[in-house]
């Protein structure tokens, strides 16, 4: 049920923009002059290592998992989740929260939705449920912020490593101007690290950090819907009231009309 | 009634500034050297694709509609709206809110004004009306912010893509310095992407993002006037009190004097 | 009474800094090479037009009036205003607010001071007077902020237009390197737009925006003094209490000692 | 008692860093080529004049006094002041505030400490004393902020004036390329203004603005200690309570242990 | 018990990134051309001296100790600390806080944990304990902020000193273009300071400032755990309640389950 689908915006954007740059490189013919292993190592490795200094090993590893997560998007939209919560609220009305048992079986073990409903089925006081879930949500937000912080830092470091590489190349070239024919190629190599740094920062780290922040906001909204649903069911409120509360949470385009 | 008129500042500004740059290009004679299809593709396409990574498909599409919206401005000014609300308040005074029915027919289906008055005519409690409208307003603000955020991101990405294109061109040129006569034209082509990026960011995305933010503030003010009017009518307050409340909302230059 | 005097800091600063730059230009001899009509048009016109896109026509026009206002400064200082209010408070003490009538005649129609005192003479409740004046003050602050915002935007746009002009010039020059003697002059012309943009942004728009913000803060302080005076007179408080309240408002260097 | 001592960090830092740069200049031999009167005038004068536009004459003059003040630091540390207040509190205990008279004679007329204690000796209600002193403190903070604001602005303007000077030099040089031997020296002169601007902003204005902000925070802390001491003495509290209150104000390294 | 372990992220990151840059330098052969004592002195010394102007001697010295601290990380994790506090709470339950005596002996004199527990054993009222510890924590945060502020400033100053050095070198070179063979090496030397500044700022000061801020947040969390534990023991609360409170403080990945 929580199966994710491909995030077309991320996949197409990354694939398309890298294709465009590759195309521009290919048009010039001399493709080989755009690949220089030491330069790649300096910029990629340097960005990774300097970013690592700023954080801990675990944070950098976790950030890499978060990068991978950006090529997927949630199949469940906030309005789908809202309808689903209203369905459950209607079903439990009068018959009690034990009606949720069968629904729980269909949910993945690690889902926020399952935890929300399980706590209600377990009969915890609603204030307690609310506190626990809010706490989980805060932890999730902190985790996401730390992840996008790693990418933001990498987007800052990559051009700096590119500049450092270019300065190394320029100093080497300027110290050895005897052979005029070598000046051009030497400067081309020197510029490569600036090029790598610009591509990494602007076409990879920075947009992925923005996407992570955007996805985090969406995930939080989705989980707020589950949390609101679960606590409303726990309080055995009228589902019409739940509908009203959900609509104050949802953006206008996603508002629900369960009871016409 | 909600027919929009052309926003002269946007149209004249865009048209005039692009004419100035085109004029500068034409003066040099070799116009053809300013158009290079691969460079255009790299900067325009790259900006679009990288911006897309940072958002979702829907957000980028919605931003394009918002760009189109900036060449129009609202025909209704806040003070016109305020007088209109005072007229309705005076008409309903004593005779009840059903007097609004005929006015409602003249309004477009999707207008905030219509919704505000309809809710009052429907007899909803004023607190409920107020909550619903405030909710709609918040949604509108969030939608506008997301739209101008897409343009702000594009204004950041465009010069970066221009730099990347120029670096590609420079590396290609430097690797192939044998023919001195080709250096100038090659570097001219390399600089084109920086030129496109600077024009796109500074003459298109950035000012339009500012305009969107400005229009959003104006739209919100206008809708606050409708909301204040509708709730005042719903509460059957003295229209003189509505006038006073409206004047605390309106900027000094737009204040209304309906009574006396 | 509200006659303004020249703001020496603005006049001397603008005149002096432009003289210095002109001197530097003259020293090189070839003055003519610093004036190029198309470049002037591109930077000045482009800055005006792009700034216009971001705002509305009225806002840009109002900003031009605000620029003109920065060469004047208020003749009335906050401590002079405070003494003047204490004089009036002392005069009205026991004899009533009608004593203000003769003073009102000496004030310009559009002054905040006149409005403050007129409202008190008219016998409005002090809370009402206070609300109306605070409202006017908020409107004034918003108007000033919008004005300095236009200049801040222009200070951002001018160097961008300078860069765009230089890129146009460089591309034209690079496409036409046959005649080596023309390279220097062509590049000189290309750099002119960057020069104009830097001068406009750093020596005109940016310092004037700062000055507007500074003057706005001073104007607001002055009007707070009038507002405090008028409401204190309206409440028929002891002028000694007014003196104390004024001194909490005024900066240390401007504090008043009316009752030694 | 309020005699200040030299701020070694400021004096050594300024002297040392300027010595380093002078050393680098001297090593190249041609010292004369680093001094160009028109360039000095343009950058120094331009920075002064453009900064003046942004402020008023008084503010710029006051900022110059504040610059001079950064080479001194307070001889009195916050913990010394705290012990001194505890001494006085102990002395006044039971015997009344008139015991402060002799101590007052040893204090400079313009000191915050003297004013604090004098107000208490004069028998003003403690709330009134507290209000007056807080007011003075706010005024001092505003004055310091305005002073560091002038330096921050100057640190922004200086590199801009440097750039403008360099552009003037480049345009002049490019318009006159006939004599190849003059190109180098002309460009050297053109770069001088950028050099002056970078030195002024990064080695003078910007670090002094930081130092002013730091000193302001320290001065405010010191005066808070005097204010807390004076009001505590005025309230005739137990000095042990004053010690506790002072320690919540002081940084851990400066905490006092007067009793046991 | 508070023995620290090496922070692998800092050590590996610093070592690895400097190795990469050294490798790039070595590959070019002429290693000697990358070391120029006057340039090193100018950038390193200038950065130190200019940073000193902005702060006081003590702050700069303290910052150097803080830099050294970043190569260590706390051996105690927040969850280990939480279990340890729960152990103590369980032990004291019913038997009283004197049970803590033996545990105190095993703690280093200067630890926050020891101070927290000692205050409880001493029998101070819990509110007093809480106030004192919060105060210490605030002092620690201020000390850490001041330390990372010094590094942030140094990261700002280093590239500026690099630019100043490069400008000095360029002016010297341009004034002496007679010998064409010396141009390349002279410019190489001029670029060295920019290279040093970029390396210092981006690979040393800036990531270490980030690491300090990150470690400060972790240290504060750890001490909050000790503070919560000590005050809970002081109040003789049920340890289950302490577990719950600790879990609202800890990030999800570090939550404790002492009572299954």
pLDDT of chain B, 260 residues: tens digit per residue: 345 788 889 999 999 999 999 999 988 777 888 999 999 999 999 999 999 999 988 888 888 888 888 888 777 888 889 999 999 998 888 777 787 888 888 887 667 888 888 888 888 888 888 988 888 888 888 888 888 999 999 999 999 999 999 999 999 988 877 777 888 888 888 999 999 999 999 999 999 999 999 888 888 889 999 999 999 998 888 888 888 888 878 877 788 888 86
- What's the mean pLDDT in D231-249? 87
For D213, which residue in chain E has the nearest alpha carbon? E54
**Average pLDDT in chain E:** 87
Is A176 in CB contact (< 8 Å) with chain E? yes
**Residue of higher predicted confidence among A40 and B128:** A40
- What's the mean pLDDT in E17-28? 90
For E22, which residue in chain A has the nearest alpha carbon? A168
Is E78 in CB contact (< 8 Å) with chain A? no
Q: Return the pLDDT at A2.
A: 47
Task: Please name which of A139, A91, A109, A134 lies closest in space to residue A226, comparing C-alpha atoms.
Answer: A134
Burial A173-212, CB ≥16 within 10 A → b, else e = bbbbbeeeeebbbbbbbbbbbbbbbbbbbbbbbbbbbbbb
Q: Residue B116 in contact with residue B226, Cβ under 8 Å?
A: yes
Taking the C-alpha atoms of residue E113 and residue E76, their distance in angstroms, rounded to an integer, is 11
Task: Give B-chain residues touching A192 at CB under 8 angstroms.
Answer: 171
> How far is the CA of C200 from the CAs of C46, C203, D160, E11, in angstroms?
12, 6, 11, 49
Taking the C-alpha atoms of residue C113 and residue C90, their distance in angstroms, rounded to an integer, is 17
Taking the C-alpha atoms of residue A86 and residue A244, their distance in angstroms, rounded to an integer, is 11
Identify the DSSP state of C76: S
Q: Return the pLDDT at E162.
A: 96
Burial E76-87, CB ≥16 within 10 A → b, else e = bbbbebbbbbbe
Q: Where are the domains of chain B?
A: 2-254
Q: Residue E71 in contact with residue D42, Cβ under 8 Å?
A: no
Interface test with C, best of D54, D166, D173, D190 (most C CBs within 10 A): D54
Interface test with B, best of C132, C138, C171 (most B CBs within 10 A): C171
- What's the mean pLDDT in A121-147? 85
Judged on CB neighbours under 10 Å (0-12, 13-18, 19+), E55 is buried
Q: Of A238-252, B243-257, C197-211, which has the strongest mean pLDDT?
A: C197-211
Q: Which two tokens stand for residue B152?
A: 């702000």
Distance from CA of C91 to the nearest CA of B (A): 32
The pairs formed by D178-184 with CB atoms below 8 angstroms and a separation of 24 or more are D181/E177, D183/E177, D184/E174, D184/E175, D184/E176, D184/E177
Identify the DSSP state of B74: E
Question: Around Cβ A224, how many Cβ atoms within 10 Å?
Answer: 19
Is D55 in CB contact (< 8 Å) with chain C? yes
Task: Give D-chain residues touching E46 at CB under 8 angstroms.
Answer: 17, 20-21, 203
Question: How would residue C1 be classed by pLDDT, with cut points 50, 70 and 90?
Answer: very low
D45/C252 Cβ within 8 A = no
A172/E28 Cβ within 8 A = yes
B50/A211 Cβ within 8 A = no
**Residue of higher predicted confidence among B237 and A165:** A165
Q: Tell me how many residue pairs between chain B and chain C have CB atoms under 8 A apart.
A: 120
Please measure the distance between the N-terminal and C-terminal CA atoms of chain C and give it in whole angstroms.
27
Alpha-carbon dihedral B74, B79, B81, B82, rounded to 10 degrees: 160
Is B135 in CB contact (< 8 Å) with chain A? yes
Judged on CB neighbours under 10 Å (0-12, 13-18, 19+), B253 is exposed
Distance from CA of E227 to the nearest CA of A (A): 20
Q: Return the pLDDT at B72.
A: 83
Judged on CB neighbours under 10 Å (0-12, 13-18, 19+), B98 is exposed
- What's the mean pLDDT in C201-217? 93
Q: Return the pLDDT at B1.
A: 39
Task: Give C-chain residues touching D172 at CB under 8 angstroms.
Answer: 25, 28-30, 33
pLDDT digits (tens, 9 = 90+) for D156-166: 999 999 999 99
Q: Return the pLDDT at A106.
A: 81
Query: Is residue E133 predicted with pLDDT exceeding 60?
Result: yes
The residue whose two tokens read 């051309």 is: E33
Q: Residue B6 in contact with residue B73, Cβ under 8 Å?
A: yes
Positive or negative torsion for Cα E215, E221, E227, E230: negative
Q: Which two tokens stand for residue B55?
A: 């958002």
Q: What is the pTM of this model?
A: 0.90
Q: Residue C198 in contact with residue D163, Cβ under 8 Å?
A: yes
**Residue of higher predicted confidence among D42 and A255:** D42
pLDDT digits (tens, 9 = 90+) for A92-112: 887 777 878 888 888 876 678
Question: Helix, strand or coil for residue E10?
Answer: helix
Is C170 in CB contact (< 8 Å) with chain D? no
Sequence-ordered list of residues with C-beta below 8 angstroms from that of D178, at least 6 positions apart, any chain: none
pLDDT digits (tens, 9 = 90+) for B134-171: 888 888 888 888 889 999 999 999 999 999 999 999 99
Q: Residue D153 in contact with residue D46, Cβ under 8 Å?
A: no
Distance from CA of E105 to the nearest CA of A (A): 32
C171/B192 Cβ within 8 A = yes
Task: Give A-chain residues touching E29 at CB under 8 angstroms.
Answer: 172
Is A173 in CB contact (< 8 Å) with chain B? no
For D28, which residue in chain E has the nearest alpha carbon? E172
Question: How would residue E260 be classed by pLDDT, with cut points 50, 70 and 90?
Answer: low
ipTM for the complex shown: 0.86
Is C16 in CB contact (< 8 Å) with chain D? yes
For E70, which residue in chain A has the nearest alpha carbon? A53
Is D16 in CB contact (< 8 Å) with chain E? yes
For E202, which residue in chain A has the nearest alpha carbon? A160
Is C194 in CB contact (< 8 Å) with chain D? yes
Query: Is residue D2 predicted with pLDDT exceeding 60?
Result: no
Q: Residue E228 in contact with residue E220, Cβ under 8 Å?
A: no
Taking the C-alpha atoms of residue A170 and residue A175, their distance in angstroms, rounded to an integer, is 8
Question: How would residue C53 be classed by pLDDT, with cut points 50, 70 and 90?
Answer: very high
Which region among A148-152, C5-9, C181-185 has the lowest average model confidence (pLDDT)?
A: C181-185
CA B258 from chain centre, in angstroms, equals: 31
Q: Return the pLDDT at D19.
A: 93
pLDDT digits (tens, 9 = 90+) for D160-208: 999 999 999 999 988 877 777 888 888 988 999 999 999 999 999 999 9
Percentage above 90 pLDDT, chain C? 37
Chains that touch E (3 or more CB pairs under 8 A): A, D
Distance from CA of D98 to the nearest CA of E (A): 34
For A157, which residue in chain E has the nearest alpha carbon? E202
Interface test with A, best of E5, E12, E24 (most A CBs within 10 A): E24
């Amino acid at each position: 049920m929580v199966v994710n689908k491909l995030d077309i915006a991320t996949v197409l954007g990354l694939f398309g923009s890298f294709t465009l740059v590759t195309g521009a490189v290919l048009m010039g013919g001399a493709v080989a002059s755009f690949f220089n292993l030491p330069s790649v190592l300096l910029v990629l490795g340097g960005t990774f290592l300097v970013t690592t200094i700023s954080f801990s090993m675990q944070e950098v590893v976790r950030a890499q998992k978060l990068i991978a997560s950006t090529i997927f998007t949630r199949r469940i939209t906030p309005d789908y989740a809202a309808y689903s919560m209203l369905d459950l609220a209607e079903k439990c009305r009068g018959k009690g929260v034990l009606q949720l048992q069968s629904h729980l079986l269909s949910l993945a073990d690690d889902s926020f939705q399952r935890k929300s409903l399980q706590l209600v089925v377990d009969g915890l006081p609603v204030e307690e449920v609310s506190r626990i879930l809010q706490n989980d949500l805060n932890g999730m937000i902190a985790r996401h912020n730390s992840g996008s912080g790693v990418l933001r830092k990498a987007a800052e470091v990559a051009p700096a490593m590119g500049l450092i590489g270019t300065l190394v190349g320029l100093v080497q070239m300027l110290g050895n101007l005897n052979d005029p024919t070598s000046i051009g190629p030497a400067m081309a190599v020197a510029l490569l690290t600036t090029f790598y740094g610009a591509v990494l920062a602007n076409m990879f780290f920075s947009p992925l950090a923005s996407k992570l922040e955007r996805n985090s906001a969406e995930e939080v909204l989705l989980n707020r819907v589950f949390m609101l649903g679960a606590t409303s069911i726990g309080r055995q409120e009228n589902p019409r009231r739940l509908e009203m509360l959900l609509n104050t949470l949802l953006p206008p385009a996603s508002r629900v009309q369960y009871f016409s």
